[in-house]
Structure 1
Amino acid sequence: MQWLRSLLFIVQMYLAMAVLALVYIVPAVISPRGAYAGVHAYCRWVRLSARWMVGLKTEVRGEVPTDEVLIASKHQSFLDIILLCSVLPRPKFIMKKELVWAPILGWFALRMGCVPVDRGKRGAAIAKMLDDVAKGRALPGQLIIYPQGTRVAPGVAKPFKVGSAVLYRELGQDCVPAATNVGVFWPRHGIYRRPGLAVLEFLPRISAGLDQHAFMARLEQEVETRSNALMAEAGFQVEDRR
């Protein structure tokens, strides 16, 4: 029964995406604010319908940043994107270039000021990322990067990449780490959605000005430690392999 509920939830989730895209396409063409409004409406609907249809409650903890800041978040599934975009006033992502061509998502992402990069060319990707971010500064907001570069399932160890430290240094902004346990309930692949409480938590700020080594060490320690604690809270024990 839960599998069937999950399937129905996923079907309506994508139908809602199409409907809301039509509702907000004109405001989004007129202004990026229209794109943000559409994304906020969609993400809040997904959270509401997940609770109602599959028993998956969601919670955002910590102080939600509203200024121009870098956010470095744990990434486990589409749900952490939903949670971030439901509460941040002007979210924009460092995203893989292929997503530009995703129906609806790609266009709205570009209107919001998201920055596509080619992950296959590391040095060129970082240079282009910095250039694109600099050009987009006229559209202030919360720039989100996933330090591990991709979705990472609970219990899987994957190193943090240097791109987040480069952005932190070049932008000269505070960094807000974010931890999550959403992968316990909403996996990277598959249909089944497990009932429970999925959490995304904003952690204390890392002030601008740390050197690369100190920043990366603190970021990884805080994000991984807190994510493991949130997963344990959800009943998933993670062996610390670091």
Structure 2
Amino acid sequence: MAWLRTVVFRAFFYSVSFPIVATVPISALFGQHVVIAHATVWTRFHRWAARVILGVHVRIEGTRPVGPALYASKHQAMFETLELQALLDGPAMVLKEELADLPMWGWAARRYGALVIDRAASAKALRQMMREGKAAKAAGRSVLIFPEGTRVKPGETPPLKSGFAGLYRALGMPTVPIALDSGVLMPKTGAKHPGVITIRFGEVIPPGLPREEIDARVHAAINALEG
């Protein structure tokens, strides 16, 4: 049954997603705020499809701060890349260059205002990410980063990438760590399973801390559901 639900979900989600993504150029004609609204429609559709077809529900723990913030989230599944877009009201998301280079989808992500960085995290790429992050902050948007740098399996707790500390220092925004356990129900490979995914907002961390301290606090907080 789990495999059947998974196949139906994939077929339905991607078939409906294609025209949604394909019409982004039309939204882009009316400005970034319309692109963000367009993306929110897509992510809410994903939430609905996951709930109705897969039986996946979301439990929110903790409280979001009022106003823009730097959100640092655990990354275990594609699920949160969409769910957090809607949940955080359209944040500027740090995105791997490989995704931004995908035909059509990558263009749409750039119009949305994604902060693109290459996997090698060269000095030039990091400076570009920080400039784009500052622009997002100036526009009153939150910024979302997956500080471990890639999707990991449940139970894995790799160190944070250097780009996170640089962005934290450059933006000077309050930082909110996010723990989640999406990988248990929504693994990268294999069947998806019904159940409840927990998304936990951690304690707000002020700007201006030394790198060792901010890394340690965020690493502990985003891994609070591991083990």
Q: TM-score scaled to structure 1, two decimals?
A: 0.86
Change (3 A) 1:50 1:90: closer
Identity of aligned residues (%): 31
Q: CA deviation at 1:32?
A: 1.0
Amino acid in structure 2 at the alignment position of 1:201: R
Tell me the SS of whatever aligns to 1:30: coil
Q: How many residues align?
A: 227
Q: Following TM superposition, by how much is the alpha carbon of 1:189 offset from its aligned partner in structure 2, in angstroms? A: 2.9
Shift of 1:79: 0.5
Higher-RCO chain (CA-CA 8 Å, sequence separation at least 6)? 2
**Is the 1:20–1:42 contact (alpha carbons within 8 Å) kept by the matching residues of 2?**
yes
CA distance in 2, matches of 1:22, 1:128: 27
Assess, with a 3 A threshold, how the Cα gap between structure 1 residues 67 and 103 changes in structure 2: closer, same or farther: farther
Q: What is the Cα deviation at residue 146 of structure 1?
A: 0.9
Corresponding residue of 1:208: 207
Q: Indicate the residue corresponding to 1:172 in structure 2.
A: 172
Distance 1:199 1:24 in 2: 30
Residue 29 (structure 1) aligns with: 29
Q: Would the alpha carbon gap of residues 63 and 116 (structure 1) be closer, same or farther in structure 2, given more than 3 Å must change?
A: same
TM-score normalised according to structure 2 size:
0.91
Aligned partner of residue 68 in structure 1, secondary structure: coil
Moved more, 138-147 or 212-221: 138-147
Q: Which aligned pairs between 1:85-96 and structure 2 lie closer than 5 A?
A: 85-96=85-96
Deviation string for 1:55-98 (max 9, x for gaps)? 11123332234522111100011011122012111211111111
1:136: Cα distance to partner?
4.5
Question: 1:183 aligns to what?
Answer: 183
Task: Please state how far the C-alpha of 1:24 moved relative to its aligned partner.
Answer: 5.1
Structure 1 gap segments, 5+ residues each: 229-237
Q: Which amino acid aligns with 1:81?
A: T
Who is 1:218 aligned against? 217
Contact 1:90 1:140 in 2 (8 A): no
* Local SS of the residue matching 1:94: strand
For residues 153 and 36 of structure 1, the distance between their equivalents in structure 2, rounded to whole angstroms, comes to 29
**Shift, 1:111, TM fit:** 1.5
Equivalent residue runs for 1:9-48 within 5 Å: 9-22=9-22, 25-48=25-48
**Cross-structure match for 2:225:** 227
